[in-house]
C-alpha cells in the first residue's frame, strides 16, 4: 500500500491522479474568491453613493475666487505699487509673498477678510512667488499661486554721503548727502533717510538745494557719540520717473571734542580739546584785498602736501605752489588752514598776508615735527571745527563746505521737508 500525505501526494513526492484532480477542482474557487474580494474593496470605497457600486461622487469645488495683482507671469510688474490679493465669494486665509531668497513681503488683511495689501511695494528687478488660501461659506478651500517679476527702473539716482562708514570724526561733522540727480519730491526722499545717535539727540535734515541734504543736531555732537545713517532710497521716486537704488547703513563715531578759534585781529589760533585749551599758534590770515571768510567751518579734507594754484580760485597767475604742507580744507571754494614755509617767519602773529587762507609757520617737505603747521595738523581730524572771527569779511555761505553750523536752529529746521 502506498502512503500519501495530506496534499494527495505520495510520500515519494509524486502527484497521484486523485490529488491532481482535487487541485484542479480547488483552483477556480480561490480565483473567484480573489475577484470577489476586489469587488468588495471597490464597493467599500464608494460607500458615499449608498453602496450601489455605481462609482465615486463628483467632489465639491469652493466658490471662492482669488485674484492676485500683479498677475501671474508678469515680467515687468510695477514696484511702486503694493501687491494686492482679493477674493470673491469667500474670505482669505494664508497669504504669502516671498522673493527668491525666501524673504517675505509683509502685508495687512482687510477687516472683512476679502483683501490683502502689502505694506510696501515690492523691490524692483526681483522675482516673487505668491501662495494664497481662501475658504467659501461652506469652509471649502480654494488655492491660488502666482509668480511675477518686477521691472528694473531705467532712470535712477544715488546719494553720495559723508562721513565714511566706520570713521571717527570731529564734533562738527554733519551727515551730508549729495544726490546725483535733482530731487523734486524732497519729502519722499527725506522720509527714506534716518539719522540716529547714541546717546539720543534730536537730529534734523536741512535741504541746501535739490541735490544736497544735510543732517545735524542743534549743538555740536558730544564726544563718543555713535551715529547711524540709514539710507532706504531703493525704489523711492525722487523725481518723476527717477528712482533711488540704495539700501545701506553707515555708522561713524564722534572722537574727542576739539574746536579751534582763529582770531585774525589777534592773529592767533586757539585750540580747545575736551574743554581745555590745548594749544595756541601764531597765524596769518587773509590780506585786506583777500579777506578770509568768517564763521564756523568744518575740516572736510586733509592733505599732508598738496598743490595750490591761484587759477583754480579765479585769481589768475598770482601763485602756484606744488607742495603746500599740512593743508586742511574748510570750504569747497578753496579756503584752507595750512602750513606755510615760503613766507618770512616774522609775519605769523603779526600780519595778515594770505589770499584768504589761514596759515601757520611750517617747513618745506612737511616733515618738521617742531613746526606749528605740523602740530596742528597732527592734532586735527576731519569734522573738527575752525571758527574764524574778526576777519573783516562776511560769514561763509553755509553750503560752501560742511558749514551748516552758521544756520540758526529755527532756520535749519525750516529747511526740512518732513
pLDDT tens by residue, 57-73 = 667 899 999 999 999 99
Which candidate, 67, 50, 48, places its Cα nearest to that of 59?
48
Indicate whether 14 pLDDT > 60.
no
pLDDT for the residue numbered 22: 38
Contacts of 58 (CB under 8 A, 6+ apart): none
Q: Over pLDDT 90: what percentage of the chain?
A: 82
pLDDT for the residue numbered 5: 40
Average pLDDT, the chain: 88
Indicate whether 17 pLDDT > 50.
no
The verdict on whether 35 is a catalytic residue reads no
Using CA atoms, how far apart are residues 132 and 94, in angstroms rounded to an integer?
6
Indicate whether 116 pLDDT > 80.
yes
Domains of the chain in sequence order: 65-149 (2.60.40.3780), 156-255 (2.60.40.3710), 258-398 (2.40.440.10)
pLDDT for the residue numbered 28: 38
Using CA atoms, how far apart are residues 188 and 242, in angstroms rounded to an integer?
12
Contacts of 151 (CB under 8 A, 6+ apart): 76, 77, 78, 79, 124, 125
Which candidate, 111, 108, 149, 152, places its Cα nearest to that of 130?
149
CB atoms near residue 355 (< 10 Å): 19
Burial classification of residue 114, based on how many CB atoms lie within 10 Å of its CB (0-12 exposed, 13-18 middle, 19 or more buried): middle
Cβ 177 vs Cβ 194: under 8 Å? no
Q: For residue 305, what are the β-bridge partners?
A: 325
pLDDT for the residue numbered 57: 65
Burial classification of residue 48, based on how many CB atoms lie within 10 Å of its CB (0-12 exposed, 13-18 middle, 19 or more buried): exposed
Alpha helices in 6-75 (DSSP H): 17-45
pLDDT tens by residue, 181-194 = 999 999 999 999 99
154, three cell numbers? 531705467
pLDDT tens by residue, 125-161 = 999 999 999 999 999 999 999 999 999 999 999 999 9
Using CA atoms, how far apart are residues 235 and 269, in angstroms rounded to an integer?
48
Indicate whether 52 pLDDT > 80.
no
**Residue found under cell 482669488:** 66
Q: Of 206, 326, 338, 355, which one is the catalytic site residue?
A: 338
Say if strands 159-162 and 175-179 run parallel, antiparallel, or are unpaired.
antiparallel
105, three cell numbers? 513681503
pLDDT for the residue numbered 310: 84
Q: Distance of CA 206 to CAs 45, 84, 183, 339, Å?
A: 76, 36, 13, 34
Q: Distance of CA 14 to CAs 10, 27, 415, Å?
A: 6, 19, 112
Using CA atoms, how far apart are residues 148 and 133, in angstroms rounded to an integer?
18
CB atoms near residue 137 (< 10 Å): 11
CB atoms near residue 150 (< 10 Å): 25
Contacts of 68 (CB under 8 A, 6+ apart): 83, 84, 85, 130, 132, 144, 146
Q: Of 206, 326, 355, 357, which one is the catalytic site residue?
A: 357
pLDDT for the residue numbered 56: 58
pLDDT tens by residue, 265-288 = 999 999 999 999 999 999 999 999
Q: Distance of CA 406 to CAs 297, 300, 301, 382, 410, Å?
A: 8, 16, 19, 18, 12
- To the nearest 10°, report the CA torsion of 372, 374, 375, 381: 130
Using CA atoms, how far apart are residues 322 and 354, in angstroms rounded to an integer?
16
219, three cell numbers? 549743538
The verdict on whether 290 is a catalytic residue reads no
Amino acid at each position: 500500500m502506498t502512503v500519501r500525505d495530506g496534499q494527495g501526494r505520495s510520500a515519494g513526492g509524486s502527484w497521484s491522479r486523485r490529488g491532481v484532480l482535487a487541485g484542479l477542482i480547488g483552483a477556480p474557487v480561490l480565483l473567484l474568491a480573489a475577484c470577489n474580494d476586489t469587488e468588495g474593496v471597490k464597493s467599500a470605497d464608494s460607500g458615499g453613493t449608498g453602496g450601489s457600486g455605481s462609482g465615486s461622487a463628483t467632489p465639491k469645488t469652493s466658490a471662492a475666487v482669488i485674484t492676485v495683482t500683479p498677475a501671474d507671469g508678469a515680467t515687468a510688474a510695477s514696484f511702486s505699487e503694493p501687491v494686492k490679493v482679493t477674493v470673491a465669494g469667500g474670505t482669505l486665509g494664508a497669504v504669502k509673498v516671498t522673493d527668491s531668497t525666501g524673504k517675505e513681503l509683509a502685508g495687512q488683511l482687510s477687516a472683512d477678510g476679502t483683501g490683502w495689501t502689502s505694506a510696501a511695494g515690492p523691490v524692483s528687478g526681483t522675482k516673487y512667488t505668491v501662495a494664497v488660501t481662501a475658504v467659501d461659506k461652506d469652509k471649502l478651500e480654494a488655492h491660488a499661486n502666482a509668480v511675477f517679476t518686477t521691472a528694473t527702473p531705467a532712470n535712477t539716482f544715488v546719494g553720495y554721503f559723508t562721513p565714511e562708514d566706520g570713521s571717527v570724526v570731529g564734533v562738527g561733522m554733519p551727515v551730508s548727502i549729495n544726490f546725483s540727480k535733482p530731487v523734486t519730491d524732497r519729502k519722499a526722499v527725506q522720509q527714506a533717510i534716518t539719522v540716529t545717535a547714541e546717546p539720543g539727540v534730536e537730529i534734523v535734515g536741512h535741504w541746501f538745494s535739490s541735490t544736497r541734504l544735510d543732517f545735524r543736531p542743534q549743538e555740536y555732537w558730544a564726544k563718543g557719540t555713535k551715529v547711524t545713517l540709514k539710507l532706504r532710497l531703493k525704489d523711492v521716486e525722487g523725481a518723476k520717473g527717477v528712482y533711488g537704488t540704495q539700501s545701506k547703513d553707515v555708522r561713524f563715531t564722534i572722537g574727542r571734542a576739539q574746536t579751534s578759534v582763529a582770531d585774525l585781529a589777534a592773529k592767533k589760533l586757539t585750540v580747545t580739546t575736551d574743554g581745555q585749551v590745548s594749544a595756541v599758534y601764531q597765524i596769518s590770515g587773509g590780506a585786506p584785498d583777500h579777506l578770509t571768510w568768517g564763521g564756523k567751518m568744518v575740516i572736510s579734507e586733509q592733505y599732508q602736501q598738496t598743490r595750490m594754484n591761484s587759477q583754480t580760485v579765479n585769481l589768475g597767475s598770482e601763485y602756484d605752489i606744488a607742495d603746500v604742507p599740512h593743508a586742511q580744507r574748510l570750504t569747497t571754494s578753496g579756503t584752507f588752514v595750512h602750513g606755510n614755509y615760503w613766507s618770512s617767519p616774522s609775519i605769523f602773529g603779526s600780519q595778515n598776508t594770505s589770499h584768504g587762507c589761514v596759515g601757520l609757520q611750517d617747513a618745506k617737505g612737511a616733515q618738521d615735527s617742531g613746526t606749528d603747521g605740523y602740530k596742528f595738523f597732527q592734532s586735527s581730524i576731519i569734522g573738527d571745527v575752525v571758527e574764524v572771527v574778526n576777519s573783516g569779511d562776511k560769514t561763509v555761505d553755509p553750503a560752501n563746505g560742511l558749514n551748516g553750523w552758521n544756520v540758526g536752529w529755527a532756520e535749519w529746521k525750516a529747511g526740512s521737508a518732513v
